[in-house]
Amino acid sequence: MLRHSFAQVLNSLFNCITNWHSWLTNPFVWLVCVFQIWMLIHAVRQGEWIWAVFILIGWGIAAVWYYFYVYRGSASTMRGFELPGAHKRKRIKELQAQIHHLDKAHHYSQLGDIYFQQGRLDKAEASYRAALERDPKDLDTRAHFGQCLLRSKRPAEARPLLEGVVTENPKHDYHYTMMALAETVSVLGETDNAILYWQHITKEHFYPRAKVQLAELYLAKKQFDLARVELKDVLSDVAHAPAFQRRRDRVWFRRAKKLSRSLPG
């Protein structure tokens, strides 16, 4: 009896698989196919080759897994410009409750950091301003607010905040604040100042974000040999970097690869 039932299940499954007409006329199948192609293209563009293979052979399920594990984690508009810290809905609610009851500057600042990470720059700005009203001297708030203004394409407003923090503590946020200042003066057209900041940072840390942008400035000044050294360092590091670092810095790895192809000779 059990053997007969099992045979019926297998037979039904075989009929479903071989009935191509029902598959082709099923809108759900088409939706899954479109979604899978979307995730496959994203995986190939990101250089996630193992994921690409899984998506190809794991119809539907692997694509969904990739979406939640990789795609959503890289979809932030702040990709490559992260601040230290996590960003979760639960934490937002906790901070909003603490702000309601305690009205403390550091709670507003932490909420601003979360909004910044999510790319919700208007909300981040409002939170940072509220934090500074309550504690105008806090280094973290001033630095992160400056980065928020920079990402909002307001470098002239960001500069005094970032410069003030770097003057007080050049190593603030493990030189992340100085990186933001280097990007700011670069956007404002002060290439030589930006190069000095990037050179200082790359002596202290191996940040692909710093080395690639330094290489870009060298290329703009036609200092090709100097640019080649920085890009070679970044590309050599890709093969040995742990998976989480490759995901975090994939923007800079791709940019380094593109720039290296544009070098003469």
Cβ contact 169:139 at 8 Å: yes
pLDDT value at residue 119:
85
User: Cα separation of 49 and 33, whole Å?
Assistant: 19
Task: Please state which of the ranges 10-19, 147-156, 194-203 shows the lowest mean pLDDT.
Answer: 10-19
Domain boundaries, the chain: 2-74
pLDDT value at residue 128:
98
> Greater confidence, 67 or 229?
229
| Residue 261 pLDDT greater than 80, yes or no | yes
Average pLDDT for residues 69-92, to the nearest whole number? 59
Which pTM was predicted?
0.70
Give the pLDDT band of residue 101 (cuts 50, 70, 90).
very high
pLDDT, tens digit, 9 for 90 and up, residues 177-190 = 999 999 999 999 99
pLDDT value at residue 89:
73
Give the pLDDT band of residue 87 (cuts 50, 70, 90).
very low
| Residue 10 pLDDT greater than 50, yes or no | no
How many helices (H) and strands (E) would you count in the chain? 17, 0
At residue 137's C-alpha, the angle toward residues 76 and 99, to 5°, is 60
Cβ contact 206:233 at 8 Å: yes
pLDDT value at residue 208:
95
Q: Is 30 left (phi over 0), alpha (psi -120 to 50) or beta?
A: alpha
Give the pLDDT band of residue 154 (cuts 50, 70, 90).
very high
Average pLDDT for residues 98-104, to the nearest whole number? 94
